Structure 1
Amino acid sequence: MSSVISSHSPNAVSQAVSVLNAGGLVGLPTETVYGLAARADIDVAVASIFRAKGRPTGHPLILHISDIADLDRYAHNVPSSALTLAQQCWPGPLTLLLHKTSAVSFLVTGGRETVAIRIPANECARQIIDQCGHALAAPSANLFGHVSPTTAKHVHQDLGDKVDLIVDDGNCTIGVESTIVDFTTDQPQLLRPGGFPAEDLESIIDQPIIMPSGESRAPGMLNSHYAPKCTVVLVHTIAEAKRALSEYDDARILDHWDNCPLYAASLYTQMRQADADGMTAIIAVLPDKSGLGLAIRDRLNKASLP
């Protein structure tokens, strides 16, 4: 079985670094969701991420760095607007899709010439990355397509002994994945709504971020994703939710539907708990499309698909 260590342990960072430098996998806490981390320059370790998750190798992974000074090591021809966002939004729940350098393995990028990069806001995660001396590749630490993990317990439930060490830093504060913006096209494109609202990013660069068309180049963008075992029923008002509740024998309405930060932070935990309690359905009130609401709607829509 994998071992779990508290982030408050004086040995947490050094133990995680030792595992990673030996080519192992670490359950890494971030502000968004827990990541399944490996040294991005050790191909055998990166390959083990895909095996542990059951993730197709054509799906790219996000590269996590600890300092903006490392950006040029992994990306080139970075547009000024992307650099502005990096300077003002990192560390934080924002991932930039950029042109990769030769330092990034095609195994990380799913064979693409682009790489997704971010700096997590979680201090423990940044310390681990910094002491490794190299970027970490880290998708969410769950089985492919399943509900994302926002606690160390979730990681252990999904991956068990497939992960060598889990660093427990409590609940993720944001609770949904990072926003992904593509800067490899003529206009920046929103590939995935997430923990950083798109309208806030637009105001920083004074430029619209458009919605893409066609196949996504971003990690974690299957049509069906983030899905619990129970049925996810989407409604627009709490009155509709109460009516829908009567149609199922074992169902519940997701809490915090009227408070987007709490809704996001608790969303995946509520989904997992519904499965653990044997619910046949969860009723989810869709929030407005502004702020974090867009990310929550995206996760709920994907979770509701067969």
Structure 2
Amino acid sequence: MKTIIRKIDNLYSDHKFIEEAAGILQRGGLVAFPTETVYGLGANGLSAEACRKIYEAKGRPGDNPLILHIGDIEGLYEIAEEITPTAKKIIDKFWPGPLTMIFKKRPCVPDNVTGGLDTVGVRFPSNEIARELIRLAKVPVAAPSANSSGKPSPTRASHVQFDLDGKIDMILDGGAADFGLESTIVDATGGKAVILRPGAVTKEMLEGLLGYAEIDPAVLKKPDKNIIPKAPGMKYTHYSPKASVILVKGEMGKVVEEINRRAKEKQRDGLKIGVLATDETKALYKADIVLSAGSRNDEVSIGANLFKILRKFDYLDADIVFSEVFSEKGEGLAIMNRLKKAAGYNYIEV
């Protein structure tokens, strides 16, 4: 299969490319497209056969649910059986945007979208290209991240091409994603707001709206192979570059000292060592590759850069990557959730 790549510089002058992509979705094909979070790999979300192709192209486990994307709020009522008052309050505040909500599904939603569950994740993206594509396709679009399963999520069309070229029909190149981390996932089917995956819509934001918000215990610990995942990413360790990632936690001066010591040891063994640092510390490290994710004073930029940086270690052939850790408040919770999974929960405390 030859993968077509279409650059969207302007929603109106390049509209024909979005129309072309919508036609591919209607015919059961796969299209990668930009959202404000990461690039998604889209298929007709009401076609079990089209959704099967997503799992095949990504090498994705069949029990890892997909998210259905809608182009307008009316689309929600076609696929969701029940919308609780709590869910309504959340979506009125945060949609369109980087938030996925869990709902009881209608029978029209195929079982392979939901991993066999009776619930479905739904997102109303704010990215204009994504919304226009869904509107023209005239179906909800199932779209996990457009990467090979287990690898860092793509924040640019080039990342998608690196992983999936020749496996999918088209890539719509709409530039870099704004947030760079997948959407927050919230389950309010039981009346309470429970975070199943942290993201740009933070626990603190939900608490400001509702007065409370819970975090599912599975978010905070190493995935259990026996867990039945309620949402994408709950069961599996992923976001990993080819290199082994090791998180180093402690007082910053000691962290720098420990990483430099271990880097020197591993370099003696002939290994190429990378360090995921910040603007404040990058000059302190002595490794083969030192990359900054941004300033510690700007969590949003760190989140936006994280997957790009993890992929860059691959491009530069790092064998081991030592990473600093971050606060788990605000968007830091989402950053650390992804870093822990990338590292397989491999920590050094100093």
| TM-score (normalised: structure 2) | 0.83
* Among candidates 136, 141, 149, match of residue 144 of structure 1: 149
Letter of the structure 2 residue corresponding to residue 221 of structure 1:
M
Asked whether the 8 Å contact 1:3–1:165 carries over to 2, the reply is yes
**1:239 matched to which residue of 2?**
253
Letter of the structure 2 residue corresponding to residue 17 of structure 1:
A
Shift of 1:275: 1.2
Residue deviations 1:247-281 (CA, integer Å, cap 9, x gap): 22322233125121111101011011111101122
Shift of 1:186: 4.8
Asked whether the 8 Å contact 1:202–1:209 carries over to 2, the reply is no
**2:8 matched to which residue of 1?**
7
The structure that has the greater radius of gyration is 2
Matched ranges for 1:223-302 at <5 A: 223-236=236-249, 237-243=251-257, 244-248=259-263, 249=267, 250-254=273-277, 255=292, 256=294, 258=296, 259-302=298-341
In structure 2, C-alpha distance between the alignment counterparts of 1:63 and 1:174, rounded to whole Å: 19
In structure 2, C-alpha distance between the alignment counterparts of 1:165 and 1:151, rounded to whole Å: 14
In structure 1, C-alpha distance between the alignment counterparts of 2:262 and 2:342, rounded to whole Å: 19
1:218 equivalent to 2:231? Answer: yes
Matched ranges for 1:154-169 at <5 A: 154-169=159-174
In structure 1, C-alpha distance between the alignment counterparts of 2:254 and 2:151, rounded to whole Å: 27
| TM-score (normalised: structure 1) | 0.95
Residue deviations 1:85-117 (CA, integer Å, cap 9, x gap): 111101111110110011211121111100000
In structure 1, C-alpha distance between the alignment counterparts of 2:262 and 2:217, rounded to whole Å: 37
Distance of aligned partners of 1:245 and 1:91 in 2 relative to their CA distance in 1, 3 Å threshold = farther
Residue deviations 1:146-173 (CA, integer Å, cap 9, x gap): 1111110110111111111000011111
Q: Aligned residues: percent identity? A: 38
Distance of aligned partners of 1:232 and 1:23 in 2 relative to their CA distance in 1, 3 Å threshold = same
Asked whether the 8 Å contact 1:63–1:138 carries over to 2, the reply is yes
Shift of 1:184: 2.3
Shift of 1:68: 1.3
1:118 equivalent to 2:119? Answer: no
**What SS does the corresponding residue of 2:102 show, helix, strand or coil?**
strand
Letter of the structure 2 residue corresponding to residue 25 of structure 1:
L
In structure 2, C-alpha distance between the alignment counterparts of 1:69 and 1:245, rounded to whole Å: 55
Please, which runs of 5 or more residues in structure 2 have no aligned partner?
A: 219-226, 268-272, 278-291
**2:224 matched to which residue of 1?**
none
Shift of 1:241: 4.1
Shift of 1:20: 0.7
**1:77 matched to which residue of 2?**
82
* Among candidates 62, 68, 91, match of residue 63 of structure 1: 68
Structure 1 runs, 4 residues or longer, greater than 3 Å off: 212-216
Distance of aligned partners of 1:210 and 1:302 in 2 relative to their CA distance in 1, 3 Å threshold = closer
Distance of aligned partners of 1:301 and 1:257 in 2 relative to their CA distance in 1, 3 Å threshold = farther
Letter of the structure 2 residue corresponding to residue 72 of structure 1:
Y
1:38 equivalent to 2:43? Answer: yes
Letter of the structure 1 residue corresponding to residue 340 of structure 2:
N
Please, which runs of 5 or more residues in structure 1 have no aligned partner?
A: none
Asked whether the 8 Å contact 1:40–1:46 carries over to 2, the reply is yes
Letter of the structure 1 residue corresponding to residue 172 of structure 2:
V
Distance of aligned partners of 1:65 and 1:240 in 2 relative to their CA distance in 1, 3 Å threshold = farther
Choose 9-18 or 247-256, whichever is displaced more. 247-256
Choose 179-188 or 151-160, whichever is displaced more. 179-188
What is the number of residues matched between the two proteins? Answer: 306
**2:270 matched to which residue of 1?**
none
TM-align CA RMSD: 1.6
Choose 149-158 or 236-245, whichever is displaced more. 236-245
In structure 1, C-alpha distance between the alignment counterparts of 2:125 and 2:113, rounded to whole Å: 18
Residue deviations 1:7-58 (CA, integer Å, cap 9, x gap): 2223221111111111110011011111110011222111100000111222
Shift of 1:83: 0.8
Matched ranges for 1:80-91 at <5 A: 80-91=85-96
Choose 39-48 or 7-16, whichever is displaced more. 7-16
In structure 1, C-alpha distance between the alignment counterparts of 2:88 and 2:72, rounded to whole Å: 13
Shift of 1:180: 0.6
**2:205 matched to which residue of 1?**
200
Distance of aligned partners of 1:47 and 1:215 in 2 relative to their CA distance in 1, 3 Å threshold = closer
Shift of 1:245: 3.3
